[in-house]
Structure 1
Amino acid sequence: MHGMLVPMEPLNTERRVIEAAETLALSLGNNPNHTVAAAAMDTNGRIHTAVNVYHFTGGPCAELVTLGVAATAEAGPLVAMAAAGDGGRGLIPPCGRCRQVMLDLHPDLLVAVQTETGPQMRPIAKLLSDTYFFPDAQAERVFRFNRRYYDAVVSGRKTSSVRWDEQIAVGPAIFYFEDDAECAPLRGEILEAKRYQIDDLTPERLRLPEGGSVEGYIEGLRQHYPLMPVDAFVDVVDFRVVPSDSGPVHEGQMATA
C-alpha cells in the first residue's frame, strides 16, 4: 500500500493510467482546441480518458472532461489521474482550478506528476495544501489497503488500521485494495479514528492480540512510512465491511463480504 507522504513510485495499475494519458496525447494532431489528454482509474480498475476543449471563454481542461466521462460511466470515486500534453510533452501537472475540483470531488485521488527521477504519484491534498474545502461536494471516500489484507478484511478478522499523514474521514467509504484486479472493492464504513502520539500507543489502542508487541508494530509502521517522524501522531482507525445486501458500491462494483 502507498504511504501518503510524497514522493511515491507508481504502482502497476497507476502506470497503466499514465500510459493511457500519454498514448492518447500522442494521437492528438495539430488541432489547437485539443492539446492535452487525461486518464483516470476508478476503484474497479476501469480507465476513463478524455481531452481538453480549449476556448477563449474558459473551455474545460482534460482532467475535468475526464471527470465528466467517468461520472457518465457511473465510475464512482477515482483513485488515480494523469494528464499528458500533445507534441511529446509527456506528463503535465494539473492547473489550480483542476486541483481544487479534484480535491472536492475525489479527495482520495492520487495524481501523476513528472519529477527528475520519473513519474511520481502525489495525493491531491498534497498538491493543494491549506486549501478551501467545498462543503457540499458530497464526495465518496476511499480507504486504501494493501492487497494482502483482503481476506482478513472480508472475513472480519481485521477491523482496525494505523495510518500516518492520511486524510481520514469517519463515515461511509469504499475499501480499495491497491494494484490487484482480483480484489474487488468493498462497501465499508470508517467507524472511528483516534489520534495518538507514537509514544502513547498501547496494545489496547493498537487492538493487538494477546502477546502482541507494541515495539514490533511500530517498527513495521516505520518500515511502511520511512519518513514518519520519531514523535509522529498516528490515527488508529476502526472500520467495518457493510454487508453485501446493502447494494452495489456503484455500477459494475458489487460489495462482497
Structure 2
Amino acid sequence: MVPTKLFDSERRVIEAAERLAATLGSDPNHTVAAAAMDTAGRIHRAVNVYHFTGGPCAELVVLGAAAAAGAGPLVTIAAAGDGGRGLIPPCGRCRQALLDLHPDVLVAVPTDEGPALRPVRKLLPDTYFFPDADARRIVRFNKRYYEDVASGRKTSTVRHDDPIAPGPALFLFEDDEAHRTLHGTVTGVERHRLDRLTAAQARLDDPASLDEFKQGLRGHYPGLPSDAEVDVVTFTVTAPGTVR
C-alpha cells in the first residue's frame, strides 16, 4: 500500500515495479523488476539478469531500456523483488550509477511507515562523482508555478538542502498531469542564512512580505531552523518542451 503523501505519478512507478515483480518467480535468472518514469510521464520497465559473472541489476537494465526509448533524464525509479518481497532499495553499484547518470532522480525505498522517495544523493553521501557523466539536470517546481515560470514572472526560487548547480537544466513541474516541462538555465546560486535573509536577497518585490515568505519556507521544510542556510536560485527560461 503506497502512502498518500506520495504524488500519484510516484505511486504509479512503484506499482508498475511491483506488478512486474509479481509476474516473476519461475525463472531464477530474473528475480527483480524495476520501473522508471521520464519527464514525459512514460514508465519504462525491466528485470534483472542474474548471472555468476555479475549480471546487471533491474535498475541498470531499466536505465538502458529508458535510454533506448529516448527517455532523457529520469524522474523516479523503483525496484521490487519476486515472491512477494515488495519494494527493495538499490545496491551500492546501482546507487553510484544513478547518481552519475541521473543525479536528480528520486528513488523509492521501503521504510517502517511505507514506501518513501529519496533523492539519490541522500542514498550515497560523501560519494565519488564521475566527472565525465555529463548528466542532464532537473530543477523541480510545484506545478502551480508553471505559468509564472513560463511567462518569466517567476525568475527565482529559494531551496534548502537541495543542491542546484548553475547551467542548463530541465524545469520539471511535479505531478503535472500534462507533464509540461521547460528548458532553462540556472544563472546563479547564492547561499544565505535564513535569519539574515533580506527581501532583496530573496528577490521579493515587497519587503513587508519577508516574514510571510520565511514562514512559507518553514511550512515547505518542516523543522527548518532559523539559522539554516538556504540557496537563492535565479534562472531564465529558454524554451518549452520535454527533453529527448
Smaller-chain TM-score range?
A: over 0.9
Q: Counterpart of 1:210?
A: 206
Q: Counterpart of 1:69?
A: 65
Query: Cα deviation per residue 1:170-191 (whole Å; 9 max; x = unaligned)?
Result: 1000000000122511111100
Cα distance in 2, alignment partners of residues 183 and 87 from structure 1: 34
Q: Quote the offset at 1:250 in angstroms.
A: 2.6
Q: Quote the offset at 1:211 in angstroms.
A: 4.5
TM-score if structure 2 supplies the norm length?
Answer: 0.96
| 2:213 partner SS | helix
Cα distance in 2, alignment partners of residues 69 and 219 from structure 1: 43
Please tell me whether residue 129 in structure 1 is matched to residue 134 in structure 2: no
Please tell me whether residue 114 in structure 1 is matched to residue 110 in structure 2: yes
Map 1:189-228 onto structure 2 (within 5 A): 189-228=185-224
Q: Counterpart of 2:17?
A: 21
Cα distance in 2, alignment partners of residues 51 and 14 from structure 1: 19
Q: Counterpart of 1:254?
A: none
Give % identity: 63
Quickly say closer, same or farther: Cα 1:46–1:139, change in 2 above 3 A.
same
| 1:59 partner SS | coil
Map 1:26-105 onto structure 2 (within 5 A): 26-105=22-101
Cα distance in 1, alignment partners of residues 239 and 38 from structure 2: 21
Alignment counterpart, residue 168 of structure 2, candidates 172, 175, 181: 172
* Contact kept in structure 2, 1:147 and 1:183, CA below 8 Å: no
Higher mean alpha-carbon deviation, 210-219 vs 14-23, is at 210-219
Q: Quote the offset at 1:214 in angstroms.
A: 1.3
Higher mean alpha-carbon deviation, 182-191 vs 149-158, is at 182-191
| 2:14 partner SS | helix
TM-score if structure 1 supplies the norm length?
Answer: 0.91
Please tell me whether residue 141 in structure 1 is matched to residue 137 in structure 2: yes
| 2:214 partner SS | helix
Q: Quote the offset at 1:9 in angstroms.
A: 3.6
* Contact kept in structure 2, 1:83 and 1:91, CA below 8 Å: yes
Cα distance in 2, alignment partners of residues 184 and 142 from structure 1: 13
Cα distance in 2, alignment partners of residues 212 and 243 from structure 1: 33
- Which residue identity lines up with residue 163 of structure 1 in the other structure? R
Structure 1 unpaired stretches of 5+: 1-7, 252-257
Please tell me whether residue 243 in structure 1 is matched to residue 236 in structure 2: no
Cα distance in 2, alignment partners of residues 167 and 102 from structure 1: 16
- Which residue identity lines up with residue 164 of structure 1 in the other structure? H
Cα distance in 1, alignment partners of residues 99 and 27 from structure 2: 30
| 1:125 partner SS | helix
* Contact kept in structure 1, 2:170 and 2:243, CA below 8 Å: no
Structure 2 unpaired stretches of 5+: none
RMSD: 1.3
- Which residue identity lines up with residue 162 of structure 2 in the other structure? E
Cα distance in 2, alignment partners of residues 22 and 32 from structure 1: 17
- Which residue identity lines up with residue 63 of structure 1 in the other structure? E
* Contact kept in structure 1, 2:41 and 2:179, CA below 8 Å: no
Cα distance in 2, alignment partners of residues 126 and 227 from structure 1: 18
- Which residue identity lines up with residue 243 of structure 2 in the other structure? H
* Contact kept in structure 2, 1:35 and 1:86, CA below 8 Å: yes
Cα distance in 2, alignment partners of residues 12 and 218 from structure 1: 28
Cα distance in 2, alignment partners of residues 51 and 221 from structure 1: 40
| 2:110 partner SS | strand
